[in-house]
A and B are shown apart, each in its own frame.
Chain A
Amino acid sequence: MIKRFKDFFNKYFKNLFGKKKEVKIGLYGPPNGGKTTLANRICEDWLGEQLGNVSSVAHETREVQIKEKVVIKSGNKQITFSLVDTPGIATKIDYEEFVKEGMKEKEAKNRAKEATKGVIDAIKWLDDMETVVVVLDATKDPYSQVNITIMGNLEARNIPVLVVANKVDLKKADLKKIESAFPKYDIVGISAKYGKNVDKFYEKLIEVAGK
């Protein structure tokens, strides 16, 4: 009850003085879908700088990263937001997978620990998000437990969602499969790495976040 009262007052006063917090847009999805590559693409296109490191080894991003005051434009519309790049969400994190990629055991175990913490942090941050971009690897089966759980929770929280089917430059990419897995959502196929179709992505993002 007290919380509700507080929320009401916060909202009222923020509106009154026009101090509404900047909209937060979060990038969510399984590991190695290309969230950071997309975050870097957005930051490079609109701010001229990168946000984070990318790697072919899963769980490269293990801490939530934020870039404030990102302004994107499409046609005569524009939106200002904080871009929140989150660690990949997984159900199983095994250091042996990293060892297979050439990492030393100690480093791999540490990466697994940090990745586990990263998953918890990513989930915690979800409450702060006004719009979520779910970044999926279009070459992978979309019907995974991780994807279904993320989508279900976003729906339950009424957070506007834009689904990005990334890596469409690759032969194995199957945009139709992603469209049929999540028919209720706006889906845009892009290559974050090569910038393919990102204009369409910006247009859709403004549309979804502005709803």
Chain B
Amino acid sequence: MPHQCVKCGALYGDASEAIIKGCKDCESKLFFYVKQDYLDKAKERTSNLTKVEKNQIEKDVYDIIGDEIDKDIPVVLDIESINIIKPGKYELDLVNLFKKKQPLIYKLEDGKYVVDIMESFSKFSKK
């Protein structure tokens, strides 16, 4: 399954080193997880955005997932749960969001850590 860099839109395969170390083009560590069926949609998503918009989306995504996420750790987001069309325009898949089985952030296979966003969200919201 491919991963798409939130910032520049570059696509990487599952085992790509970029997902662990950061995007080869822009060094961003934020990725959307993209299912094969959504690949065309994902490609289209970034081709219409300006650089300013891409930067804004990356910033917004960090704001949404919370401050306690270490920005040095690569984060993979499930594109099916939250689709950011452009800054300020969001589509939410409630069915997926309500499902506990569908975490927002996936375990990185080759990574040395697991970022469980659901856990971070609960810590954040229960402060």
Contacts and interface: CB of A to CB of B under 8 A. Distances in A.
A149 B94 contact: yes
Contacts of B87: 95, 109
Nearest to B61: A113
A183 B87 CA distance: 40
Interface stretch (B3-11, B14-22, B118-126): B118-126
Contact of B94 (A94, A124, A145): A145
B102 to A, nearest CB: 11
Describe B's contact surface by its main secondary structure: helix
A93 B83 CA distance: 10
Interface string A84-122: 000001111111100000000100110011011101110
A182 to B, nearest CB: 17
B94 A89 contact: yes
A57 interface: no
B60 A92 contact: no
Contact of A108 (B63, B88, B94): B88
A126 B98 CA distance: 9
A92 B87 CA distance: 13
Contacts of B89: 93-96, 112
B33 to A, nearest CB: 16
Contacts, number: 67
A74 B121 CA distance: 36
Contacts of B121: 120-121, 124
Interface residues of B, number: 22
Given A113-B60, A124-B118, A91 B91 contact: yes
A113 B92 contact: no
Interface residues of A, number: 28
B32 to A, nearest CB: 15
Given A113-B60, A124-B121, A91 B93 contact: yes
Contacts of A108: 88
B88 A124 contact: no
Contact of A91 (B60, B64, B94, B122): B94
B95 interface: yes
Interface string A119-145: 111011110000000000000000001
Interface in B71-127: 82, 87-95, 97-98, 104, 118, 121-122, 124-125
A125 to B, nearest CB: 6
A197 interface: no
A153 interface: yes
A95 B122 CA distance: 26
Nearest to B125: A121
Contact of B95 (A93, A117, A124, A149): A149
8 contacts: A64-B125, A96-B89, A113-B64, A120-B82, A120-B97, A123-B94, A124-B125, A149-B94
Interface of B: 56, 60, 63-64, 82, 87-95, 97-98, 104, 118, 121-122, 124-125
Q: Return the 7 tightest CB-CB contacts between A and B, nearest first.
A: A95-B88, A109-B88, A112-B88, A149-B94, A93-B90, A116-B90, A117-B64
